[in-house]
């Protein structure tokens, strides 16, 4: 291999994390195109209820596939297979959304299929990376997971901004071009991930130890580290197969697993209610409260996507240095301050013709929204690295994919409700809606402070001890030792039985010999 194993590990993780480029692009696509006059005219000027339904269909599709299909596919055929299946569905859905007849129902159906593909690929990609990365660098690598969400948004908004500069020449292709470029991420993933190693933990779970060794040899530099990691994985899985059997049942019957699942669901729901989800999906409508020119709004969206990448790069060196809790707490406070300040600036200043604000107010609002995004990427309270890392690393192997899928899709449950309600709320109350997000961020701070433990530096196999559970490695070692003792006893019995049988024959034949 021409590159170091550590560099190859980064390459593999970046391929898998491209599912977040897919997610970032897809989640920003509709927000970008709904500002197009050609899109509105093509679909007969849909009202806010229909706009909400488009996002809701995307979200509900993700919920259904994430909860019911992602884990079975990833557990049976592997993490890579689930990622590829999700990408194929997104490719098909892209063509449906782009070339649907002039009926919003076809467009909504395409968006629902995109959500289904996302719901399958994202949990599998998240688990795949967490199972490949060592504990010391897991946070750093996973922060690029969040950065790729920003990369996807960056692509969608800049492509859309370029199209808005030539709407007359492009016609309906000003929004269809944005939709078709949705193919970039899934095509890249499929072209590269087939050559990446499968999760060694999945191989061990399937009793394919030799394949697990080969996977680890491709991504670990130290042979001793491979031996130790294999031993920990085998021991943990031995305990889990005996004590945490079943697919979904342990999520509710095992007290410590249920506790973790409820915490993860609450944290994932909380991240969708901070305001960043609404900013991602409805920034075009939000900025129309301040600006009247669509080209200006799309430029702001594009710059927001650009700064999102830069803000997330800052998190790559902080998440493993300061820990998950610190970033969540600082981010929640920062977002709360930004929301209450933005709401005050916009609601307490005069409004001019076409609903626009003065230039200083507009600049202040954009600055506060960008600052909000900065705190968001540091705390990762919306689809970001810390929530994704924390969610992916707290569950044991036997329930990891299904628990991560359920926790992640709880975001979409909250998002589906918020996306249906928020456009109507914003239309009636304007920037007063931001006061609600201020209060939610304060509640999120309190929740993290009292309920979320620090997971920095813990291996996946020993994570259970943080939540009052048993050490799966130690318990698994005991089970393996007991199994070895039983095998030794059975082997001794098998060796003794032929000897006893032979002696019995000799005893039976000895009187005849005496005669």
Give 10-residue mean pLDDT values along the chain (515 residues).
82 93 84 82 86 82 89 93 96 94 90 93 91 83 80 86 85 92 95 93 91 93 88 83 70 87 91 72 64 72 73 68 81 81 74 62 68 53 62 84 87 77 75 83 92 84 80 74 62 57 51 48
The reported pLDDT for the residue numbered 488 is: 58
**Cβ 380 vs Cβ 268: under 8 Å:** no
Distance between CA 226 and CA 213 in Å, rounded?
Answer: 8
Name 186's Cβ contacts closer than 8 Å, sequence gap at least 6: 22, 86, 87, 88, 90, 91, 117
pLDDT at residue 383, rounded to an integer: 40
Angle at 444 between CA 459 and CA 24, to 5 degrees: 70
In the prediction, which pLDDT does 143 show?
A: 76
Radius of gyration of the chain (CA): 27
Burial of 11 (0-12, 13-18, 19+ CB in 10 A): middle
Model confidence, pTM: 0.74
Residues near 167 by beta carbon (within 8 Å), at least 6 away in sequence: 36, 37, 38, 174
* Model pLDDT, residue 369: 66
What local confidence, expressed as pLDDT, does residue 95 receive? Answer: 95
Query: Cα dihedral angle (391, 393, 398, 400), rounded to 10 degrees?
Result: 30
Q: Are 133 and 14 in contact (CB under 8 A)?
A: no
Q: Which residue has the tokens 């629902």?
A: 112
The reported pLDDT for the residue numbered 311 is 67
């Amino acid at each position: 291999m021409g590159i170091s194993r550590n560099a190859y590990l980064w390459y593999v993780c970046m391929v898998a994390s491209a599912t977040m480029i897919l997610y970032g692009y897809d989640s920003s696509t509709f927000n970008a195109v709904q500002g197009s006059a050609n899109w509105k005219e093509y679909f007969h000027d849909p009202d806010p209820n229909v706009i909400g339904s488009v996002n809701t269909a995307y979200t509900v599709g993700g919920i259904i596939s994430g909860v019911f299909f992602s884990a079975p596919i990833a557990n049976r055929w592997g993490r890579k297979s689930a990622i590829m299946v999700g990408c194929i569905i997104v490719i098909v859905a892209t063509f449906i959304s782009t070339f649907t007849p002039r009926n919003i129902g076809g467009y909504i159906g395409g968006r629902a299929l995109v959500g289904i593909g996302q719901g399958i690929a994202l949990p599998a990609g998240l688990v795949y990376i967490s199972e490949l990365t060592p504990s010391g660098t897991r946070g750093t690598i996973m922060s690029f997971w969040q950065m790729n969400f920003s990369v996807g948004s960056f692509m969608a908004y800049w492509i859309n901004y370029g199209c808005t500069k030539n709407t007359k020449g492009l016609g309906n292709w000003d929004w269809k071009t944005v939709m078709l470029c949705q193919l970039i991420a899934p095509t890249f993933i499929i072209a590269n991930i087939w050559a990446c190693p499968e999760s060694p933990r999945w191989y061990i779970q399937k009793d394919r130890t030799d394949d697990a060794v080969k996977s680890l040899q491709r991504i670990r530099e130290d042979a001793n580290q491979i031996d130790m990691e294999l031993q920990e994985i085998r021991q943990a899985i031995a305990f889990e197969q005996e004590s945490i059997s079943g697919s979904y049942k342990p999520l509710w019957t095992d007290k410590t697993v249920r506790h973790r699942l409820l915490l993860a669901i609450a944290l994932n729901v909380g991240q969708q209610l901070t305001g960043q989800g609404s900013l991602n999906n409805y920034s075009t409508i939000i900025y129309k409260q301040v600006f009247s020119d669509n080209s200006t709004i799309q430029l702001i969206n594009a710059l927001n996507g650009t700064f999102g990448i830069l803000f997330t790069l800052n998190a790559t060196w902080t998440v493993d240095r300061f820990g998950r809790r610190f970033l969540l707490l600082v981010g929640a406070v920062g977002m709360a301050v930004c929301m209450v300040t933005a709401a005050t600036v916009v609601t307490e200043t005069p409004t001019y013709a076409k609903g626009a604000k003065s230039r200083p107010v507009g600049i202040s609002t954009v600055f506060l929204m960008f600052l909000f995004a900065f705190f968001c990427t540091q705390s990762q309270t919306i689809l970001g690295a810390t929530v994704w890392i924390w969610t992916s690393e707290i569950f044991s192997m036997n329930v990891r994919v299904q628990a991560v899928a359920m926790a992640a899709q709880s975001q979409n449950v909250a998002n589906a409700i918020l996306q249906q309600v928020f456009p109507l709320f914003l239309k009636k109350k304007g920037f007063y809606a931001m006061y609600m997000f201020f209060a939610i961020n304060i509640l999120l701070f309190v929740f993290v402070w009292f309920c979320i433990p620090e997971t920095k530096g813990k291996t996946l196999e020993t994570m259970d001890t943080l939540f009052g559970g048993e050490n799966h490695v130690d318990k698994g070692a005991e089970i393996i030792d007991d199994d070895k003792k039983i095998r030794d006893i059975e082997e001794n019995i098998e060796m003794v039985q032929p000897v006893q049988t032979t002696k019995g024959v000799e005893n039976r034949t000895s009187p005849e010999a005496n005669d």
